[in-house]
Amino acid sequence: MTAPRRFVVDEELTIVTAADHRQRLLAALGDPNGLSIDLSGVADIDTAGLQLLVMARAEGERLGIPVEFAEPSAAVTEALSLTRLEL
């Protein structure tokens, strides 16, 4: 089996960058081997960023493509904890 495609999110995942990340994520979801979203470089995340991650997971499920979230940064871990979201 081929490894999932790696998608790296650097610096911020906020309303300022969400539209750009969304387009790139949707394009990356075309890989049938799945998608691994590397969140280790995310220094700032807001609700737009969280919505984007939820959208990626839902779209992957809809398409039958596995989506995993790898190495969440401290900012991502804190946002998930505050919102009680599980990705």
pLDDT tens sequence across 32-50? 899 999 999 999 999 999 9
- Cα 74 to the chain's mean position, in Å? 15
Nearest CA-CA partner of 44 in 6, 86, 10: 10
Q: Identify the architecture of domain 5-83 in CATH.
A: 2-Layer Sandwich (3.30)
Report the share of the chain in percent with pLDDT over 70: 99
| Residue 10, both tokens | 């650097």
At a CB cut-off of 8 Å and minimum separation 6, what does 41 contact?
8, 9, 10, 11, 73
